[in-house]
Amino acid sequence: MRSDQLGQLILTGVPGTELDAESAALFRRVQPGGYILFGRNITGAAQLRRLIDDLRDLSEVEPIITIDQEGGRVSRLRLIGNEPPNAQQLREKGDLSLVREHGRLTGRLLRLFGFNLDLCPVLDLSFDDDADNSLRGRCYGGNVDEVVRLAGSFNDAMHDEGVLSCGKHFPGYSCASVDAHHDLPRIDRSRADLEAEELAVFRRFAKRVESMMICHGWYPSFDPEKLPASLSPTVITQLLREDVGFEGLVMTDDLDMGAIYNEYGLEDTIRMAITAGNDLAMICHRIDAIGTARETLTQLPAKHLDRALDSVTRFKSVMSPPHDFSEGAFRALDEEVWKLRVAVLGEERAAERSAEDGKRSPVETY
């Protein structure tokens, strides 16, 4: 076990728009494996690149720098630029070339700011486009082939620009009846039903995405006793790693979401997450607790820690460095995002939706 590297198993949020001395000291001491940024971290294009450069500068090992940049309401960069169309809007338009353009622009924007991983594509099927479980507007299709075709086109185009991807939310969150930001949903899907639909998509992406995110849902077909998939050895090790054969990086969804926070203490959460088979534990809001999280890792069996550290190292070996930044380059790409939006929605609807979305407070985690 490489005890001095255990911070590499933590993916942490960042408290503000610039690094204060206390946060910088904490990050320097813990050496997190990666950082996830949200709307609270973004006020301008140059400011965002400066923050990311600062995070990279204090890291002894090149960090994962990630964000949720899907399209629609789950687009952190819409705070400083145009909002790309969401997956459902692209699906309804039915033009694969526009999906590829969305992937291309997303990749180029993220490389410009210094991100090396995008937490997408969403691989969940949409059984109900109006379901109130946080997936509204975010799903590429209602059947396996449609999701594979559209999400795959986005994924491949983004890859071509040098940004790695994350399939979510394994093993399939579509039938969740409540939002895991608040409570743990019970998902009563049989193994046969999951295999025919949700898992069929993830199996086809097992070699196409570099990472997978495990959702906070309880699946009685896998774990008869109440247990979130994100903390389940059955779901992560037996199903995803051994059965599906996924060999990439595995991460939890945000461990600060109500589905986990209301059920488990921090130490138990970290212990369960890593021993279940995750490589990264995501802590988006309790940033001051990452020192405790790292200390908890020192108490875990070496076999789990070595496995996770090896996985993080392999993932980082294929990350791409940032592009050179300029405000002009950002504005040019942002104009292309607007043109894509108009091509998908039409100019009048694109403008109306931008005004409407601007009135909404962005949800911080998905």
- Cα–Cα distance list, 232 to 150, 181, 331 (Å): 30, 18, 44
The C-alpha atoms of residue 229 and residue 125 are separated, in whole angstroms, by 18
Q: Is 266 helix (H, G, I), strand (E, B) or coil?
A: helix
Q: How many CB atoms lie within 10 A of CB 45?
A: 22
What type of residue sits at position 326? S
**Containing H/E element for 157?**
helix 144-160
Can you read off the two tokens belonging to residue 19?
A: 């690094």
Can 253 be counted among the known catalytic residues?
Answer: yes
Q: Of residues 68, 124, 179, 253, which has the active-site annotation?
A: 253
The C-alpha atoms of residue 300 and residue 309 are separated, in whole angstroms, by 13
The C-alpha atoms of residue 75 and residue 202 are separated, in whole angstroms, by 23
Q: Of residues 181, 216, 285, 304, which has the active-site annotation?
A: 181
The C-alpha atoms of residue 215 and residue 230 are separated, in whole angstroms, by 6
Q: CA-based Rg of the chain, rounded to a whole angstrom?
A: 19
Can 95 be counted among the known catalytic residues?
Answer: no
Q: Cα 68 to the chain's mean position, in Å?
A: 6
The C-alpha atoms of residue 350 and residue 56 are separated, in whole angstroms, by 36
The C-alpha atoms of residue 166 and residue 151 are separated, in whole angstroms, by 11
Q: What residues act catalytically? A: 181, 253
